[in-house]
């Protein structure tokens, strides 16, 4: 029975761990839409002169080009400045820009494999005149595919609304990342996305794009000019955005600006569900010294899946935030990449500036669209930033103009980019975006120090052997070597316990018959039998120890292989499988993905999506069967429980390969190699066990304990349990038949009992 419960515990524990890692073969499209209204935007599929859409929830046809802007929904409009005293301006509106404005491009997404440095730019950014926002940001050094260069899109326009145009064609309204959203002028809200901005051709080139828009009153007299300047620099993943607000009137203006932010990064193919996050980093006091502050993301490493389901659209400041905290940056991430809005980091400055000097509020919005296959709805998420209130003095005054802005990091979560000592990214704390943790149930047993150490070890070995697959094999050798004494001891204990329990079975059956009506006495006599025969009942449980010790390593390795961008699109064993096939065979071409031994047409099997035959999990199942023959005691089942145990162990051979069928092939390579080494290790251990068995080590009838030998740890536990049961039995008997132990443990109880009887007699 003990073996049965140990096995059940092993199966349940292992199944829960593997299920927690592998759950999500079918990704939830993030659930139902949240109550947050979708933001205002405009379409763009019919060219730069497409008409704007008034509101994402509005089913009316779009307005005509250059129509008066529509006031944004109340929740996307910032509150008026507390100090607003300026008079309201009648008829405030956006001055229409000339049609046919271009979609400027800065940087470049070109990439030459033979000469990677030929293109000095890390990405290409294309903009739209609608709100002066981003149409796409494409990374030049990273591709969406393994075998060809297809620049990776970290930001793209998102479909916000689909409608039927007057000519019957299907049109789309888009949400443009980083577009100007709205401006509040003397209490009047103006939508800046539903109007076309003017591209300043004289100031626009390969590295700079300038947009301008002018607001006028009911007499068409200019009131406010807003200028947006985009800049890119070679060799950096930063895109700089600056806003200039200029008062063109003779009266003061109270202005507050709202800026659209990042949209979702691509989810990509994953077998562990949606692991995208929204992360905010803030400065908080460090210790008792108010002048010292520390960067932290505590409580603000937010699951994107959970965030879209929250009712409140406000992310920062949260309910627990006070004036002592200042947000520094806000990022959206996926498995390998991040887009973070942060202030410019001056050179020579250790403490980063606060984003709140210009933008002091971060909000979210969500909306739903049909999935590409039309079977489900997909929930989209976007961020929004509200500026601080600004007072602009009348024109001609030195304070008639105000500039605010930030920089946008759009790049990989790579240590050689974000963790470079004393770099601007490192001083901003953007290195905190690199987290090797799958979250959810796995976060409890994912030790960050272990994952970081494993990544360091991988990097070290890779520097020597120049292959990540070989590095995994080396890791297997190291881990198995460290755990060999424990593995050897556990296998010997399991074999020894199995043999001894078989020898004790007849005596245990006699005890069950003798004390069938007294379970407490049965347990007492059973433990006494264990002690007399030198049997350790916990020995079987020690057989689980290597598995429990390796589980954190497996989870940490899984997290590393899932999140480490160094392994993305990296082949195993120097790309030998691709070399012999001329690049046509995708087997183990990407250690962060399934091994794809044979690619097949996509097949939906209930919750399981199959698009390839993966060899490594199948080989692992075969090796598990072989390994079980060496590690499991080869004896006939003594009873029905033992037979059930053997069946459950065989079932595990099918369970694990199924749950890890679509796991990264780096992980299955590790497990396959570890199991192979385990078979070799078990053969040697079994040879040693045969020697022990021949010497009578496993025969309880040949083992005699010396009288003067002190009991071991487990023997002491048995003695203590036996003593406790005897004391409890004496207490129930009221002190009868005390014996030496009873006299020590129940003398006062006897006297007390006599005194109570005397009082009742009176």
CB 685 within 8 A of CB 691: no
Neighbours of 374 (CB within 10 A): 7
Give the whole-angstrom CA distance, residue 133 versus residue 177. 6
CB 174 within 8 A of CB 160: yes
The mean pLDDT of 529-545, rounded to a whole number, is 67
Bridge partner residues of 53 (DSSP): none
Among 22-26, 353-357, 687-691, 716-720, the range with the most confident prediction by mean pLDDT is 353-357
Give the whole-angstrom CA distance, residue 303 versus residue 439. 9
Which burial class, exposed, middle or buried, applies to 522 when counting CB atoms under 10 A from its CB (0-12, 13-18, 19+)?
middle
Give the whole-angstrom CA distance, residue 516 versus residue 368. 65
pLDDT at position 514, please? 84
- 188 φ/ψ angles, rounded to the nearest 5 degrees: -100, 120
The mean pLDDT of 338-360, rounded to a whole number, is 92
The mean pLDDT of 185-207, rounded to a whole number, is 93
Bridge partner residues of 182 (DSSP): 191, 258
- 553 φ/ψ angles, rounded to the nearest 5 degrees: -70, -45
More reliable by pLDDT, 78 or 57: 78
Best CA proximity match to 152, nearest among 457, 535, 565: 565
The mean pLDDT of 579-592, rounded to a whole number, is 92
Q: What is the pLDDT of residues 543-566, one digit of tens each?
A: 566 667 777 877 887 788 888 999
Cα dist from 414 to 212, 427, 428, 455, 568, whole Å = 36, 15, 15, 12, 11
**What order do you get walking across the sheet with 105-107 strand by strand?**
105-107, 123-127, 134-143, 151-156
E-only strand ranges, 576-631: 598-605, 608-613
Cα dist from 32 to 36, 52, 305, 377, whole Å = 11, 26, 11, 8
Task: Tell whether the model's pLDDT for residue 59 goes beyond 50.
Answer: no
More reliable by pLDDT, 283 or 689: 283
pLDDT at position 543, please? 59
The mean pLDDT of 619-639, rounded to a whole number, is 69
Task: Tell whether the model's pLDDT for residue 698 goes beyond 70.
Answer: no
Least confident range of 355-369, 422-436, 555-569: 555-569
- 329 φ/ψ angles, rounded to the nearest 5 degrees: -150, 160
Could you tell me the end-to-end alpha-carbon distance of the chain, in angstroms, rounded to an integer? Answer: 54
Which burial class, exposed, middle or buried, applies to 332 when counting CB atoms under 10 A from its CB (0-12, 13-18, 19+)?
buried
Q: Which two tokens stand for residue 665?
A: 């092939």
Longest dimension (CA), the chain: 116
Give the whole-angstrom CA distance, residue 246 versus residue 212. 11
Cα 429 to its chain centre, rounded Å, is 18
pLDDT at position 279, please? 96
Neighbours of 692 (CB within 10 A): 14
More reliable by pLDDT, 614 or 371: 614
Helix-then-strand count for the chain, H and E? 14, 27
Among 85-94, 150-159, 708-717, the range with the most confident prediction by mean pLDDT is 150-159
Best CA proximity match to 407, nearest among 177, 241, 208, 179: 241
- 562 φ/ψ angles, rounded to the nearest 5 degrees: -80, -40
Least confident range of 109-123, 142-156, 235-249, 685-699: 685-699
Task: Tell whether the model's pLDDT for residue 150 goes beyond 50.
Answer: yes
Task: Tell whether the model's pLDDT for residue 682 goes beyond 50.
Answer: yes
CB 418 within 8 A of CB 430: yes
**What percent of the chain stands above pLDDT 70?**
72
The rounded mean pLDDT for the chain is 79
Residue linked to tokens 């292959």: 467
The mean pLDDT of 164-179, rounded to a whole number, is 90
Task: Tell whether the model's pLDDT for residue 47 goes beyond 70.
Answer: no
Residue 699 binned pLDDT confidence (cut-offs 50, 70, 90): low
Task: Tell whether the model's pLDDT for residue 363 goes beyond 90.
Answer: yes
pLDDT at position 441, please? 66
Residue 67 binned pLDDT confidence (cut-offs 50, 70, 90): very low
Give the whole-angstrom CA distance, residue 428 versus residue 529. 66
Residue 189 binned pLDDT confidence (cut-offs 50, 70, 90): very high
The mean pLDDT of 64-71, rounded to a whole number, is 35
- Alpha helical stretches, state H, 34-83: none
pLDDT at position 756, please? 42
Task: Tell whether the model's pLDDT for residue 325 goes beyond 80.
Answer: yes
Task: Tell whether the model's pLDDT for residue 533 goes beyond 80.
Answer: no
pLDDT at position 359, please? 96
Task: Tell whether the model's pLDDT for residue 187 goes beyond 70.
Answer: yes
CB 254 within 8 A of CB 189: no
- 736 φ/ψ angles, rounded to the nearest 5 degrees: -70, 150
Residue 99: DSSP 8-state: S
Task: Tell whether the model's pLDDT for residue 755 goes beyond 80.
Answer: no
pLDDT at position 210, please? 98
Least confident range of 80-89, 329-338, 617-626: 80-89
CB 130 within 8 A of CB 44: yes
CA-atom Rg of the chain in angstroms: 35
Residue 19 binned pLDDT confidence (cut-offs 50, 70, 90): very low
**What percent of the chain stands above pLDDT 90?**
41
Query: Quick check: bond before 421 cis, omega within 30?
Result: no
Helix (H) or strand (E) holding 111: none
The mean pLDDT of 12-20, rounded to a whole number, is 49
Residue 448 binned pLDDT confidence (cut-offs 50, 70, 90): confident
The mean pLDDT of 361-369, rounded to a whole number, is 94
CB 520 within 8 A of CB 728: yes
């Amino acid at each position: 029975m003990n073996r049965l419960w140990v096995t059940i515990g092993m199966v349940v524990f292992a199944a829960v761990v593997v299920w927690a890692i592998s759950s999500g073969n079918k990704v939830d499209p993030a659930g139902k839409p949240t109550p947050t209204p979708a933001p205002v935007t405009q379409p763009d599929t019919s060219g730069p002169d497409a008409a704007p859409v008034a509101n994402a929830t509005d089913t009316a046809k779009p307005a005509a080009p250059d129509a008066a802007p529509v006031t944004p929904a109340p929740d996307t409009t910032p509150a008026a400045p507390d100090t607003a005293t300026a008079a309201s301006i009648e008829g405030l509106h956006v001055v229409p820009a000339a049609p046919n404005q271009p979609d400027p491009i800065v940087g470049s997404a070109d990439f030459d494999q033979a000469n990677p440095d030929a293109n000095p730019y890390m990405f290409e950014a294309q903009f739209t005149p609608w709100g002066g926002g981003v149409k796409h940001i494409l990374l030049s050094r990273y591709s969406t595919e393994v075998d060809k260069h297809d620049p990776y899109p970290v930001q793209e326009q998102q479909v916000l609304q689909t409608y039927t145009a007057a000519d019957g064609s299907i049109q789309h309204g888009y949400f443009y990342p980083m577009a100007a959203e709205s401006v509040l002028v003397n209490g009047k809200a103006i939508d800046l996305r539903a109007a076309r901005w003017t591209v300043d051709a004289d100031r626009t080139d390969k590295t700079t794009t300038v947009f301008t828009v002018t607001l006028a009153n009911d007499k068409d007299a200019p009131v406010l000019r807003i200028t947006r300047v985009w800049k890119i620099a070679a060799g950096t993943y930063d895109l700089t955005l600056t806003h200039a607000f200029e008062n063109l009137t003779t009266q003061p203006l109270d202005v507050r600006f709202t800026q659209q932010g990042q949209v979702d990064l691509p989810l990509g193919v994953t077998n562990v569900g949606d692991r995208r996050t929204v992360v905010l980093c803030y400065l908080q006091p460090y210790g008792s010294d108010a002048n010292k502050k520390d960067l932290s993301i505590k409580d603000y490493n937010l699951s994107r899946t959970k965030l879209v389901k929250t009712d409140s659209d406000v992310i920062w400041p949260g309910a627990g935030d006070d004036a002592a905290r200042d947000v520094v940056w806000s990022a959206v991430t996926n498995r390998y990449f991040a887009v973070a809005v942060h202030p410019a980091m001056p050179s020579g400055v250790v403490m980063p500036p606060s984003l709140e000097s210009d933008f002091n509020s971060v909000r979210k919005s969500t909306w739903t669209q049909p999935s590409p296959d039309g079977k489900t709805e997909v929930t989209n998420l976007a961020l929004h930033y509200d500026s601080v209130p600004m007072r602009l003095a009348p024109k001609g005054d030195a304070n008639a103009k105000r500039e605010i802005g930030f920089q946008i990091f759009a790049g990989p979560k790579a240590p050689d980019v974000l963790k470079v000592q004393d770099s601007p990214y490192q001083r901003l704390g953007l290195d905190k975006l690199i987290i090797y943790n799958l979250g959810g149930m796995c976060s409890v047993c994912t030790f960050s120090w272990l994952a970081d150490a494993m990544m360091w070890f991988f990097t070290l070995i890779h520097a020597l052997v120049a292959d990540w697959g070989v590095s995994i094999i080396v890791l297997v050798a190291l881990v198995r070597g460290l755990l060999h004494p424990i593995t050897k001891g556990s296998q010997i204990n399991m074999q020894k316990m199995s043999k001894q329990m078989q020898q004790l079975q007849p005596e245990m059956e006699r005890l069950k018959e003798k004390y069938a009506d007294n379970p407490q006495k049965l347990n007492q006599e059973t433990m006494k039998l264990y002690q007399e025969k030198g049997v350790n009942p916990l020995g079987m449980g020690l057989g689980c120890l290597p598995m429990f010790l390796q589980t954190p390593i497996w989870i940490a390795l899984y997290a590393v292989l899932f999140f480490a961008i160094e392994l993305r699109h990296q082949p195993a064993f120097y790309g030998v499988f691709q070399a012999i096939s001329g690049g046509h065979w995708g087997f183990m071409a990407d250690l962060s993905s399934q091994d794809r031994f044979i690619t097949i047409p996509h097949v939906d099997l209930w919750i399981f999506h199959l698009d390839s035959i993966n060899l490594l999990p199948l080989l692992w199942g075969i090796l598990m069967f072989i390994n079980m023959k060496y590690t499991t005691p080869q004896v006939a089942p003594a009873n029905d429980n033992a037979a059930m145990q053997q069946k459950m162990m065989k079932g595990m051979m099918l369970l694990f390969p199924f749950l890890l069928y679509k796991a990264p092939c780096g992980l299955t390579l590790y497990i396959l190699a570890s199991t192979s080494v385990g078979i070799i290790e078990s053969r040697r251990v079994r040879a040693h066990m045969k020697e022990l068995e021949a010497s009578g080590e496993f025969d309880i009838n040949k083992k005699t304990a010396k009288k003067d030998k002190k009991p071991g740890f487990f023997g002491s536990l048995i003695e203590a349990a036996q003593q406790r049961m005897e004391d409890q039995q004496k207490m129930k008997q009221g002190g009868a038949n005390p014996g030496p132990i009873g006299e020590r443990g129940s003398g006062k109880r006897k006297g007390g009992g006599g005194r109570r009887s005397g009082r009742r007699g009176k």
